[in-house]
Amino acid sequence: MEQTAAMTLFALTMSISPGPVNLITLSTGLNHGARSALGFVLGATIGFTLLLLLIGLGLSAIATRFGYVIDALTIFGAGLIVYFGYRLLTSNGNLDSAVQSKPNFWQGAALQWLNPKAWGACVAAVGLFELDQSRLALYFFVCLYCIICFFGIGSWAVFGSQVEGFFGTPKRRALLNKTLGAILVILAFFLLYQQFFKAVGL
């Protein structure tokens, strides 16, 4: 029972805390409504839980042996985050012009696999709960995380759709989009910065 409570708290904390995926979900909920963010949320949820499952089954050993894989993922992941950030930075706040720029299922899934923080969270969970020692515990946690992750990420889309009334004018929406876009770009460079100094041992 205590183990389940700890797993639930871990999954909720990791799923609902601010990060690139949740910020993109927030902007989608704001600009297109919560329902339009469903594909991205589902992709991010499945992408993360699949990564968690594979790391629990031993994928982390491959990543550890071939460190350049994580470096490459960091670069591609940062590039994808910058791409989303750039789209928000250049948004004029007009909903009609943003219809074609909704993030989709595959982008949500890819962003999790290209995010070194997601890898770190999965490795931490496997070590913390000794998921590599018990397939039953691993499968249970993956199912639990999938449910919590979906609602945790999805809550950002709901929040975005709820504050849309306050940001109802194109000018206000554009201001928030540019703010979120700037944060995403900063996060991307922060990821690269961390990975670079980790690689050189600083």
Q: Any idea what the Cα angle at residue 111 is, between residues 126 and 107, rounded to 5°?
A: 135
Of 63-72, 131-140, 183-192, the least confident? 63-72
How far is C-alpha 80 from the geometric centre of its chain's CA atoms? 11
Q: What is the pTM of this model?
A: 0.79
pLDDT band for position 167 (cuts 50, 70, 90): low
pLDDT at 67 over 80: no
pLDDT at 41 over 80: yes
Pick from 67-76, 131-140, 149-158 the range whose average pLDDT is largest: 149-158
Residue of 65 and 131 predicted with greater confidence: 131
pLDDT at 98 over 50: no
134-146 pLDDT, tens digit per residue, is 889 999 999 999 9
Rounded to 10 degrees, what is the CA torsion of 47, 143, 141, 150?
60
Q: Any idea what the Cα angle at residue 36 is, between residues 35 and 41, rounded to 5°?
A: 85
Alpha-carbon distance 19 to 2, whole Å?
A: 28
As a whole number, mean pLDDT of residues 28-45 equals: 90
Residue 81: which region, alpha, beta or left (left: phi > 0; alpha: psi -120 to 50)? Answer: alpha
As a whole number, mean pLDDT of residues 101-126 equals: 84
pLDDT at 84 over 50: yes
Alpha-carbon distance 168 to 124, whole Å?
A: 41
